[in-house]
A = this chain, B = another copy of it.
Amino acid sequence: MKKLINDVETVLAESLDGFAAAHADIVLLGAERQFVRRRNTKPGKVALISGGGSGHEPLHAGFVGHGMLDAACPGQVFTSPTPDQMLAAAQSVEGGAGVLFIVKNYSGDMMNFQMAAEMLDRENATVIVNDDVAVENSTYTTGRRGVAGTLVVEKIVGAAAERGDGLAALKALGDSVNKSTASMGVALTSCTVPAAGKPTFQIGIDEMELGVGIHGEPGRKRVKLTSADDIAAELTGAILRDLSLKSGQEVILLVNGFGGTPLLELYLMVHAARRVLHGAGVRVARHLTGPYVTSLEMAGCSITVSAVDSASLALWDAPVHTAALRWAM
């Protein structure tokens, strides 16, 4: 294992300390590093809280700030945070208008967020993100996995929360964005969890895992590596079949790197995915390209397509000021 670390036991703590120091203008680290929260919360605003295993950075702590999350709870690498963390985060940022939890659909996360929701003595609701069309049920999941579409949900719901929407409206909006969003990924290499010390899976020098999960979970099939165009056709095709978009539909296209694939290749995939979408009569209204929902150093990418209308597009365009997403303030 080749990593820039001191000790597998302290990777997360040292990384969170670096993150909090680097973005001290935006975030605060909670006691015992239970959560990362916005430095300045807004009274009367619904508090948006997410979280999950670490190793997917910048998700979720990188999306804490104005126009997006109020707090994020980082678990150990690829391990769910505890209900205590979520409860402490909620108590720290709740501003009188309730709490919306945004949870990726993994069994551990679901169970722990549900326990926190039950323990919390404030009004709350939960949006479950399950945008990965690759497989039903998986290593850590009943039903579909939540992957890079989580970013789209957090951005759009975050903007609506910032303008003052209430809890019920935000819950409905989150469910609606999740339903309009689909993703699928491909891995060319494995990642290595520091505490494990060896690759999560083995893959041949000429193979790829189509439909891989963001923890290296198996996808639809292990096949020979093909061209970027073929991969884009496969991923985007599966997404389009799932979303059943009408011709002329506007979408956000997120080409997300898993951590080990250079931007040079990600933009090439943008080019390839755009052609598939255009062929289906779909119009790409907005792009986001880069390593946003990662699997440590895994090589590969995912494609996310989110159908938007003028209202959700305006929320996507609304100001955001976080460590990893920042525009128009």
Contacts and interface: CB of A to CB of B under 8 A. Distances in A.
Interface residues of A, number: 62
A110 interface: no
A172 interface: no
A184 interface: no
Contacts of A58: 263
B15 A265 contact: yes
A120 interface: no
Nearest to A327: B326
Nearest to A186: B4
Contacts of A231: 4
Interface stretch (A132-140, A149-157, A266-274): A266-274
Interface stretch (A86-94, A211-219, A222-230): A222-230
Interface of A is mostly: mixed
A329 interface: yes
A268 B15 contact: yes
Contacts of A229: 6
A58 to B, nearest CB: 6
Contact of A5 (B12, B228, B299, B329): B228
Contacts of A271: 14-15, 17-18, 21
Interface in A1-26: 2-7, 11-12, 14-19, 21-23
Contacts of A21: 270-271, 274, 284, 287
Interface stretch (A123-131, A174-182, A254-262, A304-312): A254-262
A108 B291 CA distance: 31
Contacts of A19: 267, 270
Contacts of A23: 287
A227 B6 contact: yes
Given A4-B265, A57-B263, 12 more contacts: A2-B205, A4-B300, A6-B227, A6-B272, A7-B227, A14-B228, A14-B272, A57-B262, A57-B267, A77-B264, A261-B297, A326-B327
